[in-house]
Chains A and B, each alone.
Chain A
Amino acid sequence: MGSLIGYELKKMLSRRESQVSIAAVMVFVAVIAIFNITSQYALDPKEMDTEFEGTAAIAQNKANAEALAGPITDEEATETLREFKEFVGPDGEVKEEYRMDRKPFGEKTDEYWGFRAKNSALVALLTSPWMQGYQMPESVAATIDTTGTVDLYGQVRSKIASELDANGALSYNDEERAFWSEKAQGVHTPIEYGYAGGWEGFLDLAQFLIFAMLAVVITCASVFNGEYRAKTDAILLSTKFGKSRLGRAKAAASVIAASAIYWAFTLVFLAILLVFYGADGAGLPIQIYNITCTYGISLSAAVLICCLIGYLATLALLGIVLALSAKINSPMGILAVGVALILVPVFVPTMTNSIANHIIYLFPCDALNPFSLFDMVSYAIGPVVVELPVFLAAFYLLLFAAGITLAIRTFKRHQVA
C-alpha cells in the first residue's frame, strides 16, 4: 500500500498544473505577508506629523502595547476613556484645538497626537462595547458616561445580551441564549492587555488560507479522472488491487498532498508573520482582539482553531473534489465547482435571514473569518446547541468521509469506455 501511495503522489505532483498552482500559492502567501508588513503604519509619539511604516511601525505598536500591558480593570478603562474624552467635544468630534485631520493643525494638536500615537489601539478596544454599527471611537466616547467608574464588563455583557435578543442576521432560541450567556460568563475578567501583533495579524489574514484550498482543488481534480482521460483505467482496473487498494491509495495520496499543501502554506504564512511581528502575546485572551467574544481562549488557541478548521474545510473540499473526479471526466468542471465553493461566498453580503446566514457560515471563506468563527453562531439540534467551530468540524469531517467513500466506490464501479 505504501508504494502505491508513493506512485500516486508522484503522478499527482508531476502534473504541470499541480506544480504551477503550488508554486503560485507559495509566492502568493509571501506577497500577502510582505504586503501586510510593509503597509503597517504608526504615529511617532515624539514628533508630530511623522509616521512610521513597515517594521518600524510594528516596533512602535509593540512598544505602545507593552507600555499599556496588564489587566484592563474598570478603573484602568475609566482613566483611559476620561483622558480620551478630554480631546473630544460633546458632538463626538475632536475639539478644534486638538484636530489633526487637516492643516494647519490646532494649537494643542501635539497633545492629541501623542495620546493617539500611544493609545489608539486600546481606545478602539475600550469603546467597542458601546459602538453601534460602524462608528469612530471619538463619537462613541462622547456617549460614554465617565463621571463615575465605567462598568466595562457590564457593558460587554449588555451588548452580548442585546445581540442575543435581536432578531437580525442571527436569531436565537431560548437554549441558544442560555448557552451563549453562560459561555460569556465563563470569560475571565479583567482581561489582560498586551502586545500580540503576530497572532492578531494572522487572524486578520486567515481568510487568505482559501488560496491553499484552491491549490488543493487544482492538484487533486485529476486524481481519478486523469486515469480515464489518459486511458490507463483499463490496465489499472484489471489488476488484482485495481478495484480495491488502488482507490484507497489514491484517496490516501490525495489526503497527504492536500495536507502538505495546506500546512506548508499555513505554516509559512504564520512563520513570516511571527518573525516580523513577534510571537509575543500567545497567551493573551482573544478579547483583546474582539472584546465581546464569548470564547474563553487565548489568541494562539484561536489561531490554532482557525488553522484546524481551515484544514478540515480543505479535507471536505478534497472529498467533494475526489467524488467529482471519480465521476466527471472534465477537470475544468471540477475546478469550477471548487472555485465556486471557495470564492462565491466571498461576494455574498450578510443577509437578514438567519437561516441563510447559517448556511453561508458553513462555506470555507466565512469559516476562516475569525469574526464569524468566534461569533455567537450556533446550530440548535433540538435542545442541543452546537457552536460554530464544533459544528464546522463535524460537518467538514462528514463531507470528507462521504466524499472519499463515494469517490472510491465510483472508481471501483467505473466502466472503461
Chain B
Amino acid sequence: MELRLDRLTKQFGSHIAVDRVSFSFTPGVYGLLGANGAGKTTLMRMICDVMRPTSGSVLFGGIPIDQLGDGYRARLGYLPQDFGYYPDFTACDFMMYLASLKGLTAQQAKVRTRELLEVVGLAEAAKRKVKTFSGGMKQRLGIAQAVLNDPSVLVLDEPTAGLDPKERVRFRNLISSLAQDKIVILSTHIVSDVEYIADEILVMRAGGIVTTGTVDEITGDIRGCVWECVVTPREADAMSASLTVGNIHYAQDGSAIVRVVAQQRPHPSARTVEPTLEDVYLYLFQEQSGCLPVSQTKAETGQDAIARRKGAHRG
C-alpha cells in the first residue's frame, strides 16, 4: 500500500501554498511538522480529496485519487483542523450519520459506533448532544469518526489543538493504538505530539518539505549543535536576542540555564547536549524567527546538509 504525492502544488492567486511536493507514504505514522502557514493543512486537504491541486497529483496504489473517487475515500479517514459538528446531534447520531456516509451497513455502524465511543472514552456520553461536549470530548469524537471505516489512510490535522496536556497524552496513545497497518499522517506544530509516536517526521516550510527522517536521524543531523550553559540573566537576555534559544531556566541562585541551538559554542561555559526534535524545529525555522544572525550562514549550511541527506522533496 502506497500513497504517493507527485509534484503536488497548490497556488492561491500569486501565493504558492504547496510547492511541488513529492513523497511516498507506506504504512506507518508520519508527523508533519511546520509553522502556521507552512502548507500542512493545504497538503492534507489535497490528500483527502477535498481540495483540487493546481498541478501534480495524489496517487493511491499508483492510481490518481480523482480516478479512484469513492473507492479511495472509502479507505480514507480524516480529522480536519477546526471542524464543525451538528449541535443537536448526539454523539451516537453523529457517528451513525458518518457511518452511513462511509458506506457501513446499519449493523456494522452500530457495532463500530459502540466500540469506538468506548475506545475514545465517550461511551457514557453517547446519548448526549454534541453541543454539551468539551473541546477534548469533541476532538475524541472527531478521531472516532475518522476511524469508523477502519481506514487505510488516516489524516489528522492538528488533532491536539486546544487539548490540555493530559488529553494530549491520551490522544497520542489513542492514535498509536489505532495506527497499525495504516498510513497515518498527523500534522502539528506541537513537536512533542509526534516525537514519541511518529515513525517518520516530515518538516514543512514555505510549501515544501525541507527534511524527513526518523526522530533519531533528524536529531542526529544537529548533534553537536545543541548547547546548554549556565550564565547570568543579563547574558541570557543577550543570547535570546542574538541566538536560537530553546529554553531559559532562571535558577534560585540567580543564574540562568540556557539551551541554545548554534553551530559554534555560544558561551565559554557551554556544553553539548543531546538534541531533541524541538531543537531541530527551532534550528530549521530560525530564519523565520529572525534569530541567530551571527551564525545564520552556518545554520543555512546545516539545513542544506539535512536537505541533502534526505534528498530534495521539491520535484
Cβ-defined partner of A235 (8 Å) among B52, B98, B103: B98
Q: Are A234 and B73 in contact (CB under 8 A)?
A: no
Number of interface residues of B (CB under 8 A): 32
Interface assignment of A92: CB less than 8 Å from any CB of chain B: no
Among the stretches B78-86, B191-199, B212-220, B251-259, the one at the interface with A is B78-86
Chain A interface residue bracket vs B: 20 to 34
Assess whether A238 is in contact with B50, with CB atoms less than 8 Å apart: yes
Residue B106, interface by CB 8 Å? yes
The residues in B between 69 and 103 inclusive whose CB is less than 8 angstroms from any CB of A are 69-70, 73-74, 76, 78-80, 82-86, 88-89, 93, 96-98, 100-103
Residues of chain A in range 289-320 having any CB-CB distance to chain B below 8 Å = none
B73 engages A232 (CB within 8 Å): no
Known: A236-B101, A241-B103. A231 touches B70 (CB 8 A): no
Q: Do residues B101 and A242 form an inter-chain contact, with CB atoms below 8 A?
A: yes
Chain B hits for A102, CB < 8 A: none
Q: Are B83 and A240 in contact (CB under 8 A)?
A: no
> Which parts of A215-256 form the interface with B (CB within 8 Å)?
230-246
Interchain CA distance A300-B78 in the complex, whole Å: 56
With A231-B84, A242-B73 known as contacts, the answer to whether A415 contacts B102 (CB < 8 A) is no
Given A234-B45, A416-B80, are A243 and B100 neighbors across the interface (CB < 8 Å)?
A: no
Q: Nearest chain-A residue to B76 (Cβ)?
A: A238
The answer to whether residues A7 and B83 also contact, given A234-B78, A243-B70 and a CB cut-off of 8 A, is: no
CB of B145 closer than 8 Å to a CB of A: yes
Instruction: Write out the residue numbers on chain A whose beta carbons fall within 8 Å of the beta carbon of B119.
Output: none
Complex CA gap A243/B88 in Å reads 24
Which of chain B's residues have a CB closer than 8 A to the CB of A68?
none
Contacts of A246 in B (CB 8 A): 101
- B82 (CB) vs chain A CBs: closest residue: A231
Give the CA-CA distance A415 to B100 in the complex, in Å. 22
Q: Tell me whether A240 and B82 are in contact (CB under 8 A).
A: no
Is the beta-carbon distance between A4 and B101 smaller than 8 angstroms?
yes
Q: Are A7 and B93 in contact (CB under 8 A)?
A: yes
Interface residues of A in 1-19 (CB under 8 A from B): 3-4, 7, 10-11, 14
CA distance A245 to B49 in the complex (A): 16
A234 touches B102 (CB 8 A): no
CA distance A309 to B222 in the complex (A): 76
Inter-subunit contact A232/B78 (CB<8 Å): no
- Contact: B51 with A239, CB < 8 Å? no
In the bound assembly, the distance between CA atoms of A243 and B48 in angstroms comes to: 12
Interface of B is mostly: loop
Q: Across the interface, do B106 and A3 meet the contact criterion of CB distance under 8 Å?
A: yes
Query: Which single member of B50, B70, B106 contacts A241 (CB below 8 Å)?
Result: B70
Residues of B within 8 A of A241 (CB): 70, 100-103
CA distance A272 to B86 in the complex (A): 37
B100 to chain A, nearest CB (A): 5
Q: CB distance B48 to A234 under 8 Å?
A: yes
Q: Which of A3, A7, A240 contacts B70 (CB 8 A)?
A: A240
Q: How far is the CA of A232 from the CA of B69 in the complex (A)?
A: 20
Contact of A233 among B50, B70, B74 (CB under 8 A): B50
Asked whether B149 is an interface residue with its Cβ less than 8 Å from the other chain, the reply is yes
Considering the complex, give the chain B residue whose CB is closest to the CB of A246: B101
Q: CA–CA, A14 to B94, complex, Å? A: 14
Interface string of A1-45 (1 = CB under 8 A from B): 001100100110010000000000000000000000000000000
CA distance A237 to B76 in the complex (A): 11
**Distance in Å from the Cβ of A223 to the closest Cβ of chain B?**
13
Do A14 and B88 contact each other (CB < 8 Å), given the known contacts A235-B83, A235-B145, A236-B101?
A: yes
Q: Which residues of B contact A11 (CB under 8 A)?
A: 86, 88-89
A416 touches B50 (CB 8 A): yes
Q: Kindly name the residue among A237, A238, A242 whose own CB sees the greatest number of chain B CB atoms within 10 A.
A: A238
Q: B37-74, CB under 8 A of A: which get 1 and which 0?
A: 00000000100111110000000000000000110011
Q: Is the CB of A240 within 8 A of B51?
A: no
CB-defined contacts of A14 to chain B, threshold 8 Å? 86, 88
A-contacting residues, B130-149, CB 8 Å: 145, 149
**Which B residues touch A230, using CB under 8 A?**
84-86
Q: What residue in chain A is nearest B106 (Cβ atoms)?
A: A3
Nearest chain B CB to A153 CB, angstrom units? 62
Closest B residue, CB atoms, query A3: B100
- Complex Cα distance, B45 from A11, in Å, reads 25
Q: With A244-B70, A415-B52 as given contacts, are A239 and B98 in contact (CB-CB < 8 Å)? A: yes
Per-residue 0/1 for A125-154: is the Cβ within 8 Å of any B Cβ (1 yes, 0 no)?
A: 000000000000000000000000000000
Per-residue contact bits, chain A 339-366, to B (CB 8 Å; 1 contact, 0 not): 0000000000000000000000000000
Contacts A10-B88, A240-B102 known; 15 new A-B pairs at CB < 8 A: A7-B97, A7-B100, A231-B82, A231-B83, A232-B83, A234-B48, A235-B78, A237-B49, A238-B49, A239-B73, A240-B74, A241-B102, A241-B103, A245-B101, A415-B50
The 4 closest A-B pairs by CB, nearest first: A230-B84, A234-B80, A231-B84, A239-B101
Can you show 17 pairs from A to B with CB atoms below 8 A apart? Answer: A3-B97, A7-B96, A230-B85, A232-B85, A234-B50, A235-B79, A235-B80, A235-B98, A235-B145, A237-B50, A238-B78, A239-B76, A239-B102, A242-B101, A243-B70, A243-B73, A415-B52
Using a CB–CB cutoff of 8 Å, the interface residues on chain B facing chain A are 45, 48-52, 69-70, 73-74, 76, 78-80, 82-86, 88-89, 93, 96-98, 100-103, 106, 145, 149
